[in-house]
Amino acid sequence: MFRKKQTTRINTGIYVILYFFVASVFFQAGCQTDSQLAVYIPFNSARPDTIPGILTPAERIEMVRLKGENGRLADPQTQKMMVEHLTKEYADSPDPVLRQEVVKAMERLNNSEGFALFKYAAMKDEDPFVRRAACRAVASLLTKESAAVLRHVIRQDNDKDVQLQAIKSLAAFDDQDTIVVLGELLESRYAALRYQAMQSLKSCTKQDYGDDVRRWKQYIAGQTPDPPEKLTFSQRLSWEKLPAFK
């Protein structure tokens, strides 16, 4: 009985507190102008979340993407102006996501004026995702300088994913220096780097020695290795070595 009365008193006290709180809110709101109501009325949607004249990160990214999509068909003078704007956007942005989008937009422009930015981003940007995007962009220009940048990245970058992207991008080049660098990767302790090097060598050399490191080494050394043995699917899985079911 005592607990029931105590609970009733507590509930009554709560209702009284809520009543005075609601009354005070409406009293204060009634003393304000319409433009001030959003300060006092909970969940009111009249207050804007953006500041006029200042773009949100999402809006800046969208503008960068549009420049890349629309600029590809623009005249050379307009493209040059876009490259300048995007370069400034990259230099001024502390946001790696925006810098990555700038690199992608410049790649869509496919303008050689953007090479300086690609080179810097591939070799110097602190974010590995930006460097990976820059490796793809560098390869899109198909110049000797592009291949040199990618070879530098392979030898100097400590991020294995960035190295992998540079190796993959080198598949578009067939010069001797590139083949030598890819051959050096066959000695790598990392299986992923060795595998990707062989995939790029297939494209560079128009030869196919499969995933046989030994044969690729012979080819790069100037020898003519035997073509790789063609294995059946079951042989690749070594099913023939499994004990027979009884």
Instruction: Please report the pLDDT score of residue 59 as a whole number.
Output: 80
Q: What is the mean pLDDT of the chain?
A: 79
In a domain, 131, yes or no: yes
Alpha helices per DSSP H over 93-190? 96-109, 115-124, 128-139, 144-156, 160-169, 176-184
In a domain, 34, yes or no: yes
Per-residue pLDDT at 183 exceeds 80 = yes
Kindly state whether residues 24 and 73 are assigned to the same domain: no
In a domain, 235, yes or no: no
Domain endpoint, select from 141, 173, 206 = 141
Kindly state whether residues 70 and 35 are assigned to the same domain: no
Find the range with the poorest average confidence among 7-16, 52-61, 107-116, 235-244. Answer: 235-244
Model pLDDT for residues 151-163, shown as the tens digit of each residue: 999 999 999 999 9
* Rg of the chain on CA atoms, in Å: 32
In a domain, 88, yes or no: yes
Q: Is 197 exposed, middle or buried (0-12, 13-18, 19+ CB in 10 A)?
A: buried
Kindly state whether residues 105 and 126 are assigned to the same domain: yes
In a domain, 5, yes or no: no
Kindly state whether residues 67 and 122 are assigned to the same domain: yes
Find the range with the poorest average confidence among 10-14, 114-118, 194-198, 222-226. Answer: 10-14
Domain endpoint, select from 126, 141, 156 = 141
Kindly state whether residues 67 and 24 are assigned to the same domain: no
Q: CA 21, CA 180: separation in Å to the nearest integer?
A: 78
B/e letters for 118-153, b = 16+ CB within 10 Å, e = fewer, are bbebbbebeebbbbbbbbbbbbbbeeeebbbbbbeb
Instruction: Please report the pLDDT score of residue 70 as a whole number.
Output: 78
DSSP annotation of 76 reads: H
Per-residue pLDDT at 117 exceeds 90 = yes
Kindly state whether residues 105 and 73 are assigned to the same domain: yes
Instruction: Please report the pLDDT score of residue 43 as a whole number.
Output: 45
Kindly state whether residues 36 and 100 are assigned to the same domain: no
Q: CA 215, CA 117: separation in Å to the nearest integer?
A: 38
In a domain, 231, yes or no: no
Kindly state whether residues 81 and 107 are assigned to the same domain: yes
Percent of the chain with pLDDT over 90: 45
Q: How many CB atoms lie within 10 A of CB 63?
A: 14
pLDDT band at 3 (very low <50, low <70, confident <90, very high): very low
In a 3-state reduction of DSSP, which class is residue 68? helix
Q: Is 46 exposed, middle or buried (0-12, 13-18, 19+ CB in 10 A)?
A: exposed
On whether the CB atoms of residues 86 and 118 are closer than 8 A, the answer is: no
Q: How many CB atoms lie within 10 A of CB 64?
A: 24
pLDDT band at 210 (very low <50, low <70, confident <90, very high): confident
In a domain, 221, yes or no: no
Per-residue pLDDT at 228 exceeds 70 = no
Instruction: Please report the pLDDT score of residue 16 as a whole number.
Output: 56
Per-residue pLDDT at 180 exceeds 60 = yes
Kindly state whether residues 29 and 102 are assigned to the same domain: no
Per-residue pLDDT at 7 exceeds 70 = no
In a domain, 1, yes or no: no
Instruction: Please report the pLDDT score of residue 52 as a whole number.
Output: 61
Number of structural domains, the chain? 2
On whether the CB atoms of residues 169 and 138 are closer than 8 A, the answer is: yes
Owning domain of residue 35: 11-44
Helix or strand run (H / E) with residue 39: helix 37-40
Instruction: Please report the pLDDT score of residue 192 as a whole number.
Output: 93
